[in-house]
Structure 1
Amino acid sequence: MRATLTRYARAPFWSYEPLRPVVRRVLIVIVALLLILDSLLRATSGTQTSLSRAIITTSITVAVALFVWRPPIATSVLIVAMILAAASGVARDSLLACAVAFGLVALTCSARLCAVYGIVWLAWLGVEVWRPESGLDLLPSVVISVVALISLVIGAAIRQQNDRSKMLARQLEESEREVAEQLRHERDLIADELHDIVAHEITIVALHAAVLERTEDAQTRTQSQTAIREAAVQALTDIRRVLGMVRGEENLSPERIPSPDSIDGTIAAVRRELARAGVTVTADVPEEIRLPGASLVALTRVIRESATNVLKHATGAENVRITLTVERGWAHLEFADDSPPARTAGLPSSGYGIVRLQERFRLFGGSFSAGRRAEGWVVTASLPLSS
């Protein structure tokens, strides 16, 4: 409530809150009826109405109608009409109408303009009470003041309720955006996990299944069967973990996504998998290296994705070199193979892994690139450790 009052008090002088469509229609009908009744009374009363009084009363009635379109202009017209009425001493009966209009001013206009309106109205009331020929005694003036106060309170209360409703609507909209963003983030994480399963374990299964079709060597077939069995078991384990994520049994924050314990563990797993495909892996990694959880996940994903791509697309590769350096608060990783161009295993490629890695490193404020060089296919990734 305090924030609402502060915002209302600091609003620009000519700012306003438009009336709702239903209130606009009702106000137009009321003004039309008042104009008709006023015309009938003047025609049937038999008394002569002065021009100044007719101008002031008509201006007040028209000003009420202007609240439908521009409340500040309507309030300004009312202020001018009250000043003229106080100066000329006519249209004293319009004091009550302007008191009732207090609610419209408080409902639609800024606090500063409402204060000006109140000051002018009180000055007009004081002038009428002070003027002997006005016939306005203390009791009627108190009654009119109470009406003005009630109108002001009602208008301010409705204004506060409208502001509260708008604030709640904005908060609800923001909450919906946050929920949608969180859902999108969780879908991306689940998609990443599924991609790792399909692209890595299933790739190993497909490659060794092809080996079983082409070879009769008992030792080779045994190795391929072992690799297929291990990859299938790992795929089932990972699928169960992803299903746990979908059911909400696991936290989906990046730091909680299961990953190898260390860079060394990841390289060791990659070395075993590539060795079965006849690829030698050499690694140059610092002996003691400590990485934040998010950085570790990002770098291990690069190594695993690159190893998967070697199996899928670099069937002519014989050597893979993994280099990791840490300097000046940055981690630099390079994964290179010596594969010849245009030699693949014939497995389909979506490019999803590379795209997701580029997005991940961009969010970290780092860089990621993958492309062919003279010596073979090279993947480079850098990210700040403070991320």
Structure 2
Amino acid sequence: MILLRGRLFGYLRTPFWDYRPLPPMARRLLIILVGVTLLLDSIVRATNGSTTSVVSAIVTTTSTVSLALFAWRPPIATLVLSVAAITAAITGTTDSLLVGVVVMGLAAFTCSATVAAVYAVVWVAWLVAIVGRPDSTFQPLGAVIIAFLSLLSLIIGLTIRRQYERAQVLTTQLEEAEREVAEQLRHERDLIADELHDIVAHEITIVALHAAVLERTDDTQTRSKSQTAIREAAVQALTDIRRVLGMVRGEEALSPERIPSPDGIPGTLAAVTRELSDAGITVTSDVASDLRLPSTSLVALTRVMRESATNVLKHATGARNVHISLTVERGWAHLEFSDDSPPARTAGLPTSGYGIMRLQERFRVFGGSFSAEREPRGWVVSASLPLEF
């Protein structure tokens, strides 16, 4: 209702020359109607024994032909017909009154409120002039009927316009709703894909690496440590998969602000340190113990740490040392994750590049920066994020 009321006020404020074009089918029907009317009028004039004044013939023909202009430029058609109505009022021509009735509805549907009002005033003046002429043979009852038909035509035109605008409003609302649903579905698919990637790329990587260790070593302590790591990673993967299934079934809310670790940065750092240490990699860190970050920044930075640790395990098997640095300076959080891996040494596990791509997208949306490059000292992942978005 509010939108329709707004449409009404918008119609009243429509610029003078603005118009609503007729639908293609209505254009074709209008042109056919004009052509048939001109043909029948010519036949009647040719076979009618009575004489018709030249002025009346010109006004009638002009009015009929001008109807066709509604197929292209309704305001021009309305103004031309207004001039024809003024001429008819001056000369006392009544032959085009029925055409004027049709024009009333067309003008109300297609033209601005100002153009339609101009035509309505001219048409009323025409009808009054015809009835008030001393030599007029036009009966008052006929004038009342013509006036009623004109009012009916005006109401029909406005009603069709309102229904047309209502249909446009509903179409717009439907398109917006479809876009919102599609965007929500895309957003949820991305969130689920992120969760599955974290599970597959992280936990399964740990399982694969420690399974390879079991194949290569007979040391009881090493095998026990690898078996423990495999069991913990498998249990965690199953837990995460159940949680993702709960998201899909709607049992858990899909929220980008969900913290992947209950302990935030400290918990994620401890988990990453333990996993890399189990692989024989020494981890040093420079992270303030009292660091406080917004939830969105926390999610983004912990994902960088987990993704970087996974990539070290998968693609930097020669690494012996990893350094993690997280600082906050002038409203920005800066994270650097570096290793000392030699070139061209990987664990032979498949890679998709999905994790890096999603991190780049996430940091770009938040107005930050993300890069993962090989430097002389090894791989360096750098991420910067503003704390206020």
- TM bucket normalised to smaller: over 0.9
Within the candidate set 230, 239, 242, 2:241 is matched to 239
Question: In structure 2, what is the equivalent of residue 53 of structure 1?
Answer: 56
Q: Counterpart of 2:326 in 1: which secondary structure?
A: strand
What is the CA–CA distance in structure 2 between the aligned matches of 1:254 and 1:344, rounded to whole Å?
A: 32
Q: Tell me if 1:335 matches 2:344.
A: no
**Kept in 1: contact 2:196–2:241 (CA 8 A):** yes
Aligned residues of 1:260 and 1:300 also touching (Cα < 8 A): no
Q: Return the letter of the residue paired with 2:282.
A: T
Which one of 183, 186, 203 corresponds to residue 184 of structure 1? 186
For the pair 1:126 / 2:128, whether they are aligned, the reply is yes
Residue 275 of structure 1 is matched in structure 2 by 277
Q: 1:35 aligns with which of 11, 34, 38?
A: 38
CA RMSD of aligned residues (A): 1.6
Counterpart amino acid of residue 190 in structure 2 = D
Cα separation, 2, equivalents of 1:250 and 1:58: 73
Matches within 5 A, 1:242-321: 242-256=244-258, 258-321=260-323
CA distance in 1, matches of 2:259, 2:301: 13
Equivalent residue runs for 1:78-93 within 5 Å? 78-89=81-92, 91-93=93-95
Listed one character per residue, the Cα deviations across residues 109-162 of structure 1 (whole Å, up to 9, x for unaligned) are 111111111121122222223321123354433332222111111100100100
CA distance in structure 2 between the aligned counterparts of 1:259 and 1:111, rounded to whole angstroms: 63
* Paired letter, 1:75: T
Cα distance, 1:185 vs structure 2: 1.2
What does 1:1-387 correspond to in 2, within 5 Å? 1-89=4-92, 91-256=93-258, 258-387=260-389
Q: How far apart are the structure 1 equivalents of 2:382 and 2:100? A: 76
Is the 8 Å Cα contact of residues 79 and 117 (structure 1) preserved in structure 2?
Answer: yes
In 1, Cα distance between the equivalents of 2:255 and 2:28?
Answer: 52
Could you report, residue by residue, the CA deviation over 1:271-299 in whole angstroms, capped at 9, with x for unpaired residues? 11011111111111112122111111100
Secondary structure of the residue that 1:75 maps to in structure 2? helix
Stretch deviating more after TM superposition (141-150 or 327-336): 141-150
> Aligned equivalents of 2:289 and 2:209: distance in 1?
33
- C-alpha distance after superposition, 1:180-225 (max 9, x if no partner): 1111111111111111111101110110011001000000000001
Separation of aligned partners in 2, 1:259 and 1:192: 15
Q: Secondary structure at the match of 1:281?
A: strand
Asked whether the equivalents of residues 259 and 298 of structure 2 are also in contact (C-alpha less than 8 Å), the reply is no
State the alpha-carbon separation in 2 of the partners of residues 355 and 100 from structure 1: 63
- CA shift, 1:40, in A, is 2.6
Residues in 1 aligned to 2:361 and 2:329: alpha-carbon distance in whole angstroms: 23
Structure-1-length-normalised TM-score: 0.95
Q: Which segment is superposed worse, 46-55 or 204-213?
A: 46-55
Quick one: distance in 1 between partners of 2:53 and 2:285? Answer: 103
> What's the TM-score, normalizing by structure 2?
0.95
Is the 8 Å Cα contact of residues 92 and 134 (structure 1) preserved in structure 2?
no
Q: Percent identity at matched positions?
A: 70
For residue 46 of structure 1, what is the amino acid of its counterpart?
G
CA distance in 2: counterparts of 1:164 and 1:10, whole angstroms:
18
8 Å contact kept, 2:259–2:295:
no
For 1:371 and 1:5, locate their aligned partners in 2 and report how far apart those are by CA, in whole Å. 59
Structure 2: how far apart are the matches of 1:226 and 1:208? 9
CA distance in 1, matches of 2:245, 2:229: 24
Structure 2 regions of 5+ residues with no counterpart?
none
2: distance between equivalents of 1:116 and 1:259? 71
Partner secondary structure for residue 236 of structure 2: helix
Greater mean alpha carbon deviation, residues 153-162 or residues 12-21: 12-21
Displacement of 1:230: 0.6
Once the two structures are superposed, residues 33-74 of structure 1 have per-residue CA deviations (whole angstroms, 9 ceiling, x without a partner) of 322332232122201212111111011111222222322222
User: In structure 2, how many angstroms separate the alpha carbons of the residues matched to 1:257 and 1:132?
Assistant: 91
Q: 1:259 to 1:114 in 2, by over 3 A?
A: farther
The 1:163/1:257 distance shift into structure 2, 3 A limit, reads farther
- Give the partner amino acid of 1:150: L
Displacement after TM superposition at 1:320 (Å): 1.1
The number of equivalent residue pairs is: 386
Structure 1: give runs of 5+ residues left out of the alignment: none
Query: C-alpha separation between the residues in 2 aligned to 1:109 and 1:257?
Result: 58
